[in-house]
Chains A and B, each alone.
Chain A
Amino acid sequence: MSVFFLQRILTLVATLFAASLIIFLVLDALPGNAAQMLMGADASPDAVRALTVKLGLDQPLTVRYLLWLKGMAVGDLGNSYVYGTPVAGLIAERLVLTIPLAIMSMLITVVLALAAGIYTAANHNKIGDVGVMSLTQIGIALPNFWFAILLILLFSVKLQLLSAGGFAGWDDGIWPGIRSLLLPAISLAVVQAAILARVTRSAVLEVLREDFVRTARAKGLGKREVLWRHVLRNAMIPVMTVMGLQFANLLAGTIVIENVFYLPGLGRLIFQSIANRDLIVVRNCVMLLAAMVVIVNFVVDMLYAFIDPRIKVANL
């Protein structure tokens, strides 16, 4: 195994530990007595004490932290304070919605951004470039939940093509589910795509100025051939970095967008759990989101090595 890979794995594990520690400290150590919070201020001390013991909150902080880590390792995240059902099950139910939503909007983002970014770079300073770049400037300024509301206004209220919210599920086949996720995915994607398109454009423009582009032209390749065969792969490194960072924003965005469309996903679960003071659910959901972000950025790092031959060999 290469040193590069080993280093990244170690960083990944360390980051996950740090994340779990911070999340645990913020959500379990700071709030004082979770049982009291759950039962309200006027609950009898005896009842609070009984609940404290029942939830295992009477144990020392370190024990509770280690138990949580152990639980994550074996897939037992404890039971929800409010519903009494296993947290793992609650989360799994919601991921069926959130993961397809995240994938759909990432796909839309990448397709839109690469198309716009490459088009504008290839037509640098021409009218199409200026036009698309102005659009992205506006796209960046749009709050995604407002864009979502505008989409609802257009497609649900005016055109009555798609429902304004809710999730059809996957039981009736894949299409009803995708249909109900379409508007949410688009509203998440458009803003991100505007940013990524600008990154792609400047990355491509930067590579177009490199010497090897002139070499390729001197070999007799047309501008288009040079763009596709020589420029794009070189331009992908900064684009992928931003894509990795955007994934964090995308997950945070699902929390907001799921609320706009009343989608029963992970974001809505977190949100309801805060309202219910169901801290064990919040803690595990936040940990899951943080882990997804860290892991996606790890995968991006790995992809660098796959795309760029210089990284692999230098570190073998």
Chain B
Amino acid sequence: MSAPLTAAAGTAAIAPGARPVTGFWRRALRHRSFLLGAVLSLFVLGAALLSLVWTPWSAYDIDVASKLHPPSAAHWLGTDVLGRDIVSLLLVGARSTIMVGVIAVGIGLSFGVGLGLVAAARKGWTEELIMRMSDFTFAFPAVLSAIMLAAVAGPGMVTSITAIGIFQIPTFVRVTRGSANAIWAREFVLAARAAGKGSFRITIEHVLPNILSILIVQATIQFALAILAEAALSYLGLGTQPPQPSWGRMLNDAQTLLFQSPMLAVYPGAAIAIAVLGLNLLGDGLRDLLDPRLARER
């Protein structure tokens, strides 16, 4: 007496990567948080791109005579203490934010994914060493490494990008290694190994393509974290330096004028929150859409 039925298996097995692309867009258009996230993210991206070709006023010209103007037809959100147009500052600030985010996430992605793939492919002490190192780096928040770097190299955009980038690496290492290990355990990788393919080729041909969607999701969320870190560092004066406008710096300037012009402290913060919220929603939505198995309970 034992299992009486040998029911034909195979209905549940779906070939990896076989999902049709059209299905993705159809589901994407019905996914509310994905749509909201995409709209907010595109809004911020659009602002940054727009600032390259046009701003209502120059974001760099100081005109103390027209300082702290309230919102008007000329200055939609008013002017700051140096007479600069707030809308223009916000637009150019979006550019700094996105630039720092892209470079920092780029650093995190290239080092983190590389190390994660090596850890998964080599196993043994290599994996152990990489994971211990990344655990260790993880204990240093971006602000702390930025402070150390700023202490020796002086504050600035390069300092903050480097610090945020370093902070991004361990997360990517963990995510990459975790999902790559799962791929390494799959049958088609076993088949590839049996066919005599080396671990480098397997990594490039099988592992990387299969974890790509997970990495895209993670990169989106890390982008949001990078924006938050950049804002904090600029606020502290360790990041983007004047006269280059940045949202964090604007908040720092506004804080001294809290009693006179409270709204100056509202706009840049709202801009940061919109960018971060947009990217987080986009990331969550992508996770739902790219990997429905992972996302069922969210």
Contacts and interface: CB of A to CB of B under 8 A. Distances in A.
Chain B interface, >50% SS class: helix
A252 B151 contact: no
Interface string B235-253: 1100000000000100100
A31 B152 CA distance: 5
Given A259-B236, A286-B148, A145 B277 contact: no
B141 to A, nearest CB: 4
A141 B224 contact: yes
A178 to B, nearest CB: 23
5 contacts: A26-B148, A137-B277, A248-B140, A252-B144, A297-B139
Interface of B: 136, 138-144, 147-152, 224, 228, 231-232, 235-236, 248, 251, 254-255, 258-259, 262, 265-266, 268-269, 272-274, 276-277, 280-281, 297-298
A163 interface: no
Interface string A198-218: 000010011000000000000
Given A274-B147, A286-B147, A149 B141 contact: no
Interface string A138-170: 101111111101101100010000001000000
Contact of A27 (B138, B151, B231, B254): B151
B251 A146 contact: yes
B143 A140 contact: no
B123 to A, nearest CB: 20
Contact of A143 (B258, B273, B298): B273
Contacts of B143: 252-253, 255-256
A157 B262 contact: yes
A18 interface: yes
Interface in A214-247: 245
Given A153-B258, A157-B262, A260-B255, A30 B152 contact: yes
Interface stretch (A41-49, A60-68, A91-99, A288-296): A288-296
B42 to A, nearest CB: 16
Interface string A1-43: 0000000000000010011000100110011000000000000
A297 B258 CA distance: 38
A230 to B, nearest CB: 19
A293 B266 CA distance: 33
Chain A CB within 10 Å, residue with most, of B232, B248, B251, B274: B232
Given A19-B139, A30-B152, 6 more contacts: A143-B235, A143-B248, A279-B151, A279-B152, A293-B139, A294-B139
Chain B CB within 10 Å, residue with most, of A157, A202, A252, A253: A252
A188 to B, nearest CB: 12
A149 B258 contact: yes
Nearest to B154: A274
Contacts of B262: 153, 157
A286 B144 contact: yes
B236 A19 contact: no
A251 B141 contact: yes
A282 B273 contact: no
A286 B274 CA distance: 32
Contacts of B276: 140-143
B7 to A, nearest CB: 23
A123 interface: no
A249 interface: yes
A196 interface: no
Chain B CB within 10 Å, residue with most, of A15, A140, A248, A282: A140
A136 B110 CA distance: 31
B30 to A, nearest CB: 17
